[in-house]
Amino acid sequence: MSRAQSQSPRIAVIIPCYNEEAAIEATVAGFRAALPGATVFVYDNNSRDRTGHVARASGAIVRVERMQGKGHVVRHMFADIDADIYVMADGDATYDAAAAPKLVAMLLDEQLDMVVGARQSEVEEAYRPGHRFGNAMLTGILARIFGRTFTDVLSGYRVFSRRFVKSFPVLSTGFEIETEISVHALEMRMPVGEMMTAYVARPKGSVSKLSTFRDGWRILHMILTLFRTEKPIQFFGAIGGALAVSAVLLAIPLAITYAETGLVPRLPTALLATGLVIVAFLCLFTGLILDTVVRGRRETRRLAYLSYQPPDAVRETGSGP
């Protein structure tokens, strides 16, 4: 059965927005032209300008999220919108809307649950100072912790399957949402892909809401938090190992003195070394116990994920779980 003969999937373009009056019209127009059969949703996150009005006039369905932060907006969008394929992009007109059909086709043809539009730009002004370095650093950390990663882990341009969206428990509140999405896909071992897409500078009058240091720290904190919750044996094992090594280093001089004199003159140091060993073992057992909990939670999430049809099933059977 050809794609034209099969049932077309319902596509929703979801755009989180905050004070993007200068760019939202071009963003909506671009996605409406690239995906004429899709429904474009703009979620206004308490904008102080005319973002919502301009988006509505451009043909988008506008909804409002009162809790401030991109993570809150994504949670609202994922919960409320019902579609087979979700195309998420920022409302700042920096992402290439014309690439959306290729991203969707890749998701369907390769039976993926997420395709990341990795940003490729020759324009230095497209990135704020330090953002290239910060993105590369965080991507490297993620690869170290989870074994694999994406070229552009912080890209806001992504295409999702229905079963990804409806099985993803959004915990983030701010710009760390992209990191959480990436880690969720990696930990659940979902089939994912990546495609290089053009990335341009913001139009005049549009200003980035991302704080290089504040949001960079929040993203790093999110990675460490997910490392603790998703890989507790490695996390607590590393802490326990460091404490055990410290205890051994403290105990070596004591052992030498005891072997020479039969005495332990530095009793506080001996007690400290003993305490460190006890805490090290507690960390190890904590990691083992939490690993059992994480495995059970991961199985529950996997079952929720498997309760929905794969992306291409809509071509044959129609949409829905």
**Tens of pLDDT, residues 264-296:** 788 888 899 999 999 999 999 999 999 998 888
> What residues contact 93, with CB distance under 8 A and at least 6 apart?
23, 24, 26, 27, 30, 200, 202, 203, 206
- For the segment 180-202, the average pLDDT, to the nearest whole number, is 87
Check whether 151 has a pLDDT greater than 60: yes
Task: Give the pLDDT score at 320.
Answer: 55
Check whether 125 has a pLDDT greater than 70: no
Predicted confidence band of residue 208 (pLDDT cuts 50, 70, 90): low
**Tens of pLDDT, residues 58-87:** 999 999 999 998 999 999 999 999 999 999
d(CA 108, CA 311): 6
Task: Give the pLDDT score at 289.
Answer: 93
Check whether 180 has a pLDDT greater than 80: yes
Q: Could you give the strand order of the β-sheet that contains 192-198, starting from the edge strand earlier in sequence? A: 61-64, 39-44, 11-17, 85-88, 158-161, 114-120, 192-198
Check whether 2 has a pLDDT greater than 60: no
d(CA 40, CA 32): 7
Predicted confidence band of residue 212 (pLDDT cuts 50, 70, 90): low
pTM of the model: 0.78
Task: Give the pLDDT score at 243.
Answer: 95
